[in-house]
Each structure stands twice: as structure tokens, then as C-alpha cells.
Amino acid sequence: MNIDVLSKWASVLITVSAILVSGCTSMFSKHVEWETIEPETFPVISAVGYAPISIQNGDSESSKMLMALKASKLDAYRELAEQVYGQKVDGEQSLSSLVINNTQLETSVRGVIRGARVVKSYPVGDDTYATELELDLKLVNDIYLSTARPKKVKKVHYY
């Protein structure tokens, strides 16, 4: 074989080996500093839930009022969840001979609300109870940071 060909192959092998070795070592010779991310503003959202008193289950008027109080609180939480997570809407319509036979619409909401506080609960008129809730998203962010710790790259040091 020609010596020039062998020297070219040797230089190619040395170059490829150097690239592979340097590629692997750079992965282990750096230090990454992380920084937590915080939004610029934190809105406070509110919701009001309502429940009728007279149709609640209970033996006395006061037990029906307590049940309406709880139901209005749950309704307010549902409204907060709609504001935070949105509402899923499913619809269906069927036709026969270009005449609508059936129309269905279904909505749902799913989510976890943490950190909401009851602003006040009060009767509205003679037969309705209302509960106002407030959700400070600064408090929600603090709760989230205490568990998830989201981060972004702050600085990378290569050695």
C-alpha cells in the first residue's frame, strides 16, 4: 500500500477520535446554574356561587340553610375552576331529511383549586344563599413553587 494513503487514513482516524472524545468530555465538564421563574403580575380572581335553600335536603329550615351554604361554596369553587382551567364543551347534533332531530350540549370542568378563601357567605332574598370566593394567584404561585420548583438556565460554566 502507498504510504500517503496510510498517512491520510491515520490522520482521519485521529481526527474522528479527537472529535468523539471531546464530544463526550464536554458533557461532563460544565456546571449549570438555575434560576426560578416568576411572573411579573399576579391577578386576584373572584367567583360567586349560588344555591336555593328550599329544595335542599334537611328536616329543619336551619339544616337546609347549612346545606345551601355548602352548595353555594361548591358552586363558587366550580366557577373558580372554570376561570383557571377553562370549560370543556361537547356538542352533538343529528339531522334527518335536513331537519334537526336531536341537539345535545354537555359541559364540564376539572381542576384543583388551592389557596382560595371565602370572602363572605350571605342570604340573597328569601330562598337563595350566596358565597363569594377569592383566589390570589400570588399565593397559588407560592404554593406551586414550594412543590414544583420550575427553573430556567441562569448561567453555564464550561471547564
d(CA 134, CA 142): 16
pLDDT in tens, the chain (159 residues): 566 666 667 676 777 776 666 655 555 677 777 777 777 899 999 999 999 999 999 899 999 999 999 999 999 999 999 999 999 999 999 988 888 888 999 999 999 998 999 999 999 999 999 999 999 999 988 888 788 776 777 777 777
Which pLDDT value is given to residue 6? 61
Structure letter (DSSP) for residue 139 = H
Number of Cβ within a 10 Å radius of residue 31: 9
d(CA 105, CA 114): 29
d(CA 147, CA 31): 24
Task: Give pTM, 2 decimals.
Answer: 0.65
Which pLDDT value is given to residue 24? 53
* Residue appearing with cell numbers 336551619: 62
Which pLDDT value is given to residue 10? 66
Which pLDDT value is given to residue 153? 77
